[in-house]
Structure formats: structure tokens, C-alpha cells
Amino acid sequence: MFHHLSWWYKLFNKNFNGGHESILGGIVIHCLLIVFGGTGDLAHRKIYPAIYNLYVSGHLPERFAMVAIGRRDKTEEAFRGEAADAIRRYTRENRGTQEDINKIVSRFFYRRADFTEYDGYEELKEYMNILDDKFQTGGNRVFYLAVAPEHFGTIVSNLARCGLTSQENGFKRVVIEKPFGKDLRSAVELNNIITSVFREDQIYRIDHFLGKEMLQNIMVIRFANALFEPLWNNKYIDHIQITSSETVGVESRGGYYETAGAMRDMMQNHMLQLLMLTAMEAPVSLDTHAIRDEKVKVLKAIAPMDPVKASRNVVRGQYGEGIIYGRRVPAYRSEHRVSPESDTETYMAMKLEVENFRWAGVPFYLRTGKRMPAKTTKIVIQFLPLPGILYYKEFNKLEPNRLIIEIQPREGVIIRFNGKKPGTKSQIIPVELDFCQNCAVGEVSPDAYEKLLLDVMNGDSTLFTRWDEVEYSWKLMDGISEVWSRQKPAFPNYAAGTWGPAEADELLQRDGRRWFND
């Protein structure tokens, strides 16, 4: 009998690299997580709370441990104390107990190392082997590079040199934080280094927007409802607006933001992901490749940004001082670690056309900015008016039908349509069907990093960016950077607390449209 069981156990392990079936569903893989940049901001605000939440909800593999790597000199005890503080501070509401926190941080380890020095990797290798034995993680390893992008190549090369990337004994996966390059050339260079060590299916390029509940819901809304899909094309849709606005400025991240700006921080990745999910064709299956194939086709269908288009259809902005929620806030150029002459854009808007059968003639307007009057990420689909007869004789006075997919902070779907105002007069008013999935008290969706970390451990890369998505998105952005590099912008050109520069309004007014700011 025991013999029989152990045979099954071996077979199961072989198939799933040491996994077991989670009582909550799905295959949970035993593994060791190695966080480069383990003393940094991202690790504390996102990664450790995500591990904790996975643990509390029963999704973390039983056999799991985490090693953080940083340069700071600290004891394991001090590191665990800081990780526990970060968990308490950043975790979702009402999650777990102090005992749970103690239990999870007891599986956290800290190694001091400079990842530009090779010797540290040899030591790390030995240490990981010890942890593998202790926690029975079967040689499965996830290397999470929560470090500045210039270090990605060095770490990956050193891991390979040290033999830490061999898949002979357990899987080896690498998670790369954004931004993936700063233009097409640097992204290709970086990709060449990484793919010389890891196969594409071992590489998990994070765009944490993809881990958000409502992003995953876009495909469900579109492809699991007879209601929407038949209308989802240029016969019925007038235009689409995608907005991601923040009320905050750059806070403590001025140094990073100066090298990124709204284009590299938001547009090239998060905003184009929203566009792809909104515009893609139905995949032949829910298989990772099938979904990614359809997403990338959207980018391929966007005509390149030639200088005329880039000048006419793209707007950049930078905030000056202004008022947010009744409080005066400084101009971008006065923020900490920002040059007083900075030409970095904190706002970007653009009009794109997806030139395929479904979308020809339907403009997509995308905008993202900091220090806006509201924090919101949403997709607004505006439908065409009906023929100008009956009530539509006066269609100018009727509000167009709109479908609004709210991504964050409110997660939901709103349908705006026209109805008769109750009463004896024949008066038409706009009304709403409003579904909110996180409005009820206690309804807090899992953080994107929880879902993404679990997916990496499970070997599911659907919600990560494939190389060709990165490639095509940079091609599009490079056309814009090229034009921007030749013209000095007249910054600042919008006051903090407003909806961006006047040119962004003109971009739509020209087409007889306006941004939806409500």
C-alpha cells in the first residue's frame, strides 16, 4: 500500500515539479522565492504583503521560503521585523493575525550581497541549497528582480554563470519588473541578455495592471456575454476613451520618474495593455499563447507614429503648482529629486486608430496623468447614435449610450442609456445600470501582486507580457519620443488639480468629442 502511494506521489511530483493540489483549487507549486532588491520599496509595499495575503488565504505552497537580497547590513531578525511592519502597514484590510504574520516571516531570510560581485552568487547558491533541503522546495526557484532596470542584465548573467539557472533539478523562473527597457533598442538589448539564459516560458515580465481583477474581467465581460460582443465594433461604437489618472504627484520617486515620465511609466505598458484587452479579437481558447497572440495583433494593427501623426495626435504635459482637495501642492519641477528645468512629462494623451476590420474608423483616445482632480482608471465605450428619427430626431439633445468599465479604485461596470422620465410629460433622461464589485463593505479584491506571484509559482504566464508585446509597444512609443526629442516643450502647461493641458481637450474637440471627466 505504501509502495503504491509513493509511486503516485513520485508521478505527481514529476508532472508538476513538486506541486500539490490546493484545497482552494489549482496546482500550488513548492518553491523558493529569491527577491533581489529585498530591502527596497517595491518588496516592502507589494511583494511581502502579497506573500502574506496568499498565506492567509491558503494559496501559498506549504513548502515555501523566501530569501531577500540587499546591500544593507542587517540581521535576519531586524529584516523580519521590517517585513512584518510592512505587512501590517500595506496588507489588505482585516487580514489574519499577529500570529499569522510571525509564521510567515519565520520563512523569510535575508542575505547581504552586492549583486554586481560574482562571489556573492556562489555563497547564495550554497545557501539556497540549504533552504531547499530545509523546506523541501525541490529545487524550484523563482528569481524576482525587484531592482532598477540597469541591474537586470548583470543579475541574470551572474545567475547563469553560477549554474543557478539550470532546470535539471526543479524549475527556474525569472520575474522582471517594469520598465522593460526605455526604448526599443534598450529593450532588445535587455531581452537578448535574458533570453540567452532563460527560455521565453521561464520569463515573467510584470505589468502589474494585468493582475488587477477588472483587467481580467474585461475578457469575461466581452466574451462571456451575448449582450456586448455583437456591438463591439465600428458599426455600433463611436469611439473609446481609456483614462488612468492619479491625484498624487511623484512623491518619493522623483529620481525614477525623471528617467521615465508618463510615457514610460504608464503609456507604453499599462495603457497599451488596457487597449489590447479592449480591442483584441476573441482568442481560439483561453490558452496563454492564444490570448497573447490576439493581444499583440492589436498593436500590429496600429499604424506607426510618423512625425506628422506624433505631432498632431499626441499631447504631453507637466503640472505646475495648483490645488488638490483644497490643499496647495507644488509644481513638478519643485518636487524632491526633480530638476527645476525638467522636461519630463507627467501627462500624456494620444489618439490611436486600430486599422483592422473591426475597428477601422473608431478612434481610441488614451490619457494618463499625475495631479489630476480624481484618481480613476476606466474604459469608456461610447456607442453611435441611432438614425435621426422618432426620439432621435432630437438626438443632439440625447446623451449617447455608454458602457463604462471601471478598473480602479472602483471596480465595476456602468451602462448609461436613455429612459423616459416618470410623469405625464414625454421627457427622456439618461439613466444608469450600475454594477460595483468592490463597493460592499469588506469586499476587497486581492492585490494584483498576489495573483501574479501565484501565477509565477504555478507557471502560468498569461498575465505577463510576452516579448513581442514589449517590442511593438516600444516601436509605437519610439515614433513619439523621436518627435518629442526635437521639440522643447512649454512646461508646465497644466495646473495641478486640473484635467491636463488645453491641447488634450483640443485633440477631441477637433473630432467633435470631449473627454468624460465625470
Ligand X SMILES: NC(=O)c1ccc[n+]([C@@H]2O[C@H](COP(=O)([O-])OP(=O)(O)OC[C@H]3O[C@@H](n4cnc5c(N)ncnc54)[C@H](OP(=O)(O)O)[C@@H]3O)[C@@H](O)[C@H]2O)c1
Closest approach of ligand X to the CB of residue 348, in Å = 18
Identity (one letter) of the amino acid at 163?
A: G
Kindly name the residue from 59, 270, 289, 336 that is annotated as catalytic. 270
469, 293 in Cβ contact below 8 A?
no
- Segment contacting ligand X by CB under 6 A, of 37-45, 227-235, 364-372, 393-401: 37-45
Residue 42 as a binder of ligand X (CB under 6 A): the answer is yes
Residue 147 as a binder of ligand X (CB under 6 A): the answer is yes
Q: Choose, by CB under 6 A, the member of 39, 53, 269, 493 that binds ligand X.
A: 39
Asked, as a colleague might, if the bond just before 179 is cis with ω within 30 of 0, I would say yes
Nearest Cα to Cα of residue 211 among 445, 413, 45, 371:
445
Residue 177 as a binder of ligand X (CB under 6 A): the answer is yes
Closest approach of ligand X to the CB of residue 67, in Å = 13
Among positions 83-122, residues that touch ligand X (CB under 6 A) are 114-116
The three cell numbers locating residue 108: 523569510
Provide the 3-class DSSP secondary structure of residue 132. helix
Q: Choose, by CB under 6 A, the member of 139, 149, 479, 497 that binds ligand X.
A: 149
Enumerate residues 6+ apart whose C-beta is below 8 A from 354: 275, 279, 298, 301, 302, 360, 362, 364
Q: Choose, by CB under 6 A, the member of 71, 375, 421, 514 that binds ligand X.
A: 71
404, 382 in Cβ contact below 8 A?
no
The three cell numbers locating residue 418: 436613455
With cell 491636463, the residue in question is: 500
In sequence order, what DSSP letters do the residues of 270-338 get, joined into one string? Answer: IIHHHHHHHHPPPPSSSSHHHHHHHHHHHHHTBPP--HHHHHHHEEEE-EESEEETTEEE--GGGSTT-
Residue 80 as a binder of ligand X (CB under 6 A): the answer is no
- The smaller minimum CB distance to ligand X, of residues 38 and 492, is found at 38
- Segment contacting ligand X by CB under 6 A, of 146-154, 195-203, 296-304, 384-392: 146-154
Closest approach of ligand X to the CB of residue 162, in Å = 15
Distance CA 465, CA 461 (A): 8
Residue 148 as a binder of ligand X (CB under 6 A): the answer is yes
270 is catalytic: yes
- The smaller minimum CB distance to ligand X, of residues 115 and 365, is found at 115
Q: Choose, by CB under 6 A, the member of 17, 18, 30, 37 that binds ligand X.
A: 37
- Segment contacting ligand X by CB under 6 A, of 39-47, 233-241, 377-385, 445-453: 39-47
Residues at the interface with ligand X (CB under 6 A): 37-42, 45, 70-72, 114-116, 146-149, 177-178
**Residues with catalytic annotation?**
270
